[in-house]
Structure 1
Amino acid sequence: MTEKLQKVLARAGKGSRREIEELISHGRVSVNGQVAKLGDRVTGAENIRVDGHVVETQAPAEIVCQVLAYHKPEGEVSTRKDPEGRPTVFDRLPKLQGARWVAVGRLDVNTSGLLLFTTDGELANRLMHPRHEIDREYAVRVFGEVNEAMLQRLRKGVMLEDGLAKFETLKYSGGEGMNHWFHVTLKEGRNREVRRLWESQEVQVSRLIRVRYGKIELPRTLPRGGWAELPLEQVNYLRKEVGLDAEERSKVDVHAPERYKQVAQIRKAVRKHNSRVKGTQKKETPARPRSPGQRQKRKTRM
């Protein structure tokens, strides 16, 4: 059975079908050593490359759509590898065989909170596409003078360098002095959009946490740097939102009360990662050897 090349590559997480069609049109995709063209169909068993890099593909029947909720801490970058050697959001994720985790969007290095990962590249790309208008909610702490005129401008729309932007909702959540907390929602994921909107009003963002993606909330019990796999019901909610068929299988053990085993694995992975990255393990200092005179004095006292 064959499928369109762009569909196979989208499932592998290489972009949306439209983006992959652009790659094919520009000669950046090859199949078994031959430059691919629009309309090509493949089985998935071929040697497929994008920009010279081999793409790992799977047949649809072999893939179980899994989704992780990850509590990203500040200081991690949303790329697989960082030239500066900084920790990445992929470092602590569970290992997979025959598949890979695809991030649903990004959070910048200074932003924490909910980040979703999935094994289904098509699901990831559809979730990120603006046409589906899935809202994201952030808790944001700002520093500076805030007045009602500013809030109205942020609700109605502000012209940024990449176009008009606004908060769908904006609610005050408390604060003191020059520090104020707000909860805001967006229906798109432009680069640093929350920060740039506030900066357009000459207000500085001092803390930014994503707390919700659609109906998926950041679990309160999930530690920073920890992950939890979403149950089938939530996976299918996301698939339905972007027009994909429901998944019938799940790798989550729904019969394990509170998923104690998974929580223990999360905590263990967090401790292991922190000790490796931050170098928190301390070497024991060897005892200072006593001189023969000191040993003799000790015997005399006894």
Structure 2
Amino acid sequence: MKDKSRSRGPLGRQKAQDAPGGKRATLPRALSKLGFCSRTQAEELIRAGRVTVAGRVVKDIEAWVDLEGAGIAVDGTPVQAEEPIYLMLNKPRGLVTTRHDPEGRPTVFDCLKGFDHAHLSPVGRLDKASEGLLLFTNDTQFANALMDPQTHVAKTYHVQADSIVDEDAMQALVRGVSHDGEMLAAKKASRLREGEKNSWLEIELDEGKNRQIRRMLEVLDIATLRLVRVAIGNLVLGDLEKGAVRPLTADELDDLRRLSTRGR
């Protein structure tokens, strides 16, 4: 009996392994892995008949291809893996974390004008009112591993609250609070300093739920005045100026890779 579990060419409909280090992927994911575009953009290109595999037009977004030797091209130009890029930005307040904003608001990509950012994507998000450490890369495998909830890579924030936060509230942040039926908890929480009417807190999260810190504090009747992400794992924002961008060092990248592969 013939083994039908494997395709005999570069293009196949059979489902194959798509684990880190795997050599096969769906065509949209292959274009994303090669750093050409996002999966959503890839699906649009494929449906428009602009993508070929081994010289044949492919309009099936579920087609599987070999990442090596498939001969993928867009508009007749071969797609080759780009040199991986890893950047960190000190995001200013007021920028949205998207490439194009339908409302015409300034975006984080306005800070990357000195870099070729055509295929770069942010690793996670910071909302418009938030500031601090934001990563960019064209390495989708690295980005997905870093954001995977199973790896629990810690993100550390400095938060200015509109009141003096007492010990009961600090303990509640770690125990967890319910907001709109969802349990939210910090991994760690401590007070940094206090003024006459407000407090600065350090809050560490190992999950990435939407607006998590603001929502937790809201449950405790505490408003967030400022929220700054100061670290991801052992990578710290340091003295990087607001709006400035720099590449990660080899040591920083190795450390993030180590953290993002724990428990996987």
Q: Secondary structure at the match of 1:183?
A: strand
Change (3 A) 1:157 1:9: farther
1:52-96 deviation digits (Å, cap 9, x = unpaired): xxxx9533xxx3322111010001110001122111101121332
Mapping for residues 204-223 of structure 1, pairs under 5 Å: 204-220=223-239, 222-223=240-241
Q: Equivalences for 1:158-177 in 2 at 5 Å?
A: 158-161=177-180, 163-177=182-196
Distance in structure 2 (CA, Å) of the matches to 1:68 and 1:107: 15
- The CA RMSD over aligned residues, in Å, is 3.2
Tell me which amino acid in the other structure corresponds to 1:5: A
Equivalent-residue separation in structure 1 for 2:251 and 2:98 (angstroms): 28
The residue number in structure 1 matching 2:145 is 126
- SS in structure 1 at match of 2:108: coil
Preserved contact between residue 30 and residue 65 of structure 2 (Cα < 8 Å) = no
Higher helix content, 1 or 2? 1
Partner residue, 2:24: 4
Q: Which has the larger radius of gyration?
A: 1
Q: Which residue of 1 aligns with 2:250?
A: 232
Structure 1 counterpart SS, 2:110:
coil
Amino acid at match of 1:239: R
**Shift in Å at residue 114 of structure 1?**
0.6
The answer to whether the aligner puts 1:95 opposite 2:115 as a matched pair is yes
Structure 1 residues 235 and 65 mapped into 2: Cα distance closer, same or farther (>3 Å)?
farther
What is the TM-score normalised by the length of structure 2? 0.75
Q: Give 1:36's aligned amino acid.
A: I
Q: 2:211 aligns with which of 192, 208, 211?
A: 192
- Is residue 112 from structure 1 mapped to residue 141 from structure 2 by the alignment? no
Q: 1:176 to 1:28 in 2, by over 3 A?
A: farther
Matched, 1:14 2:33: no
Gaps of at least 5 residues in structure 1 are 49-55, 245-302
User: SS at 1:223's partner residue?
Assistant: coil
Aligned counterparts of 2:48 and 2:24: Cα–Cα separation in 1: 13
How many residue pairs get aligned? The number is 227
The question of whether the paired residues in 2 share the 8 Å contact of 1:29 and 1:35 is answered with no
TM superposition shift of 1:28 = 7.3
- Deviation, structure 1 residue 109: 0.5
1:85 aligns with 2:109: no
* Identity between Structure 1 and Structure 2 (%): 32
Mapped pair 1:58 → 2:83? no
By how many angstroms is 1:205 displaced? Answer: 0.4
Q: CA deviation at 1:188?
A: 1.6
- The equivalent residue for 1:53 is none
Residue 148 to residue 160, structure 1, CA distance change in 2 (3 Å): same
Question: Does the CA contact (< 8 Å) of 1:14 and 1:121 recur in 2?
Answer: no
CA shift in 2, pair 1:147/1:41, >3 Å: same
Q: Separation in 2 of the partners of 1:36 and 1:4?
A: 14
Q: Distance in 2 between matches of 1:44 and 1:201?
A: 56
